[in-house]
Amino acid sequence: METEISKILAEKQGLLQRLVKLGQQQGQAIKTNNYDSILSIIGEKQSIIEQVNLRDLEIKETLPGEMEPYKDLLRQIQETMSQAIQLEEDNVRMLEQHKNMVYAALKEIYYPKRDKYADPPEIKASVK
């Protein structure tokens, strides 16, 4: 049973490391405005999160009361999870900044600043 738990914990650690890598790739995709890649990465991350959740269920079913033999692996898992969460928060902030920049650019296009002393734009009436 100890080997089975170690195997499940190692699988979870591997999945979380993959999640961190994907978070880093997502950050690069955000910086380069590669939205197709962002969507693909998000889908892959969702799949990994589902697999992590399954490993958590397996751990709950098979984990003995004594956690001491798994302390180091559990600490590594926690550190990796913290890193993945931090990357996710950073990526969300970057996306929010990009959204605000796009919104500001669109607003400038649709509502350009006008010089208040400039002549008003010509209005042409269409007569039928």
Going residue by residue through the chain, which has 128 residues, state the pLDDT in tens, using 9 for 90 and above.
568 888 999 999 999 999 999 999 999 999 999 999 999 999 999 999 999 999 999 888 887 677 777 888 889 999 999 999 999 999 999 999 999 998 888 888 888 776 556 555 565 655 55
**Backbone dihedral region for residue 33 (phi beyond 0: left; psi -120 to 50: alpha; all else: beta):** left
In a domain, 117, yes or no: no
In a domain, 85, yes or no: yes
Token pair 């400038």 in the structure block, residue: 108
Q: How many domains does the chain divide into?
A: 1
Domain carrying residue 23:
2-110
Q: How many angstroms separate the CA atoms of 25 and 30, rounded? A: 9
In a domain, 40, yes or no: yes
In a domain, 125, yes or no: no
In a domain, 115, yes or no: no
Q: What are the helix and strand counts (H, E) for the chain?
A: 3, 0
In a domain, 97, yes or no: yes
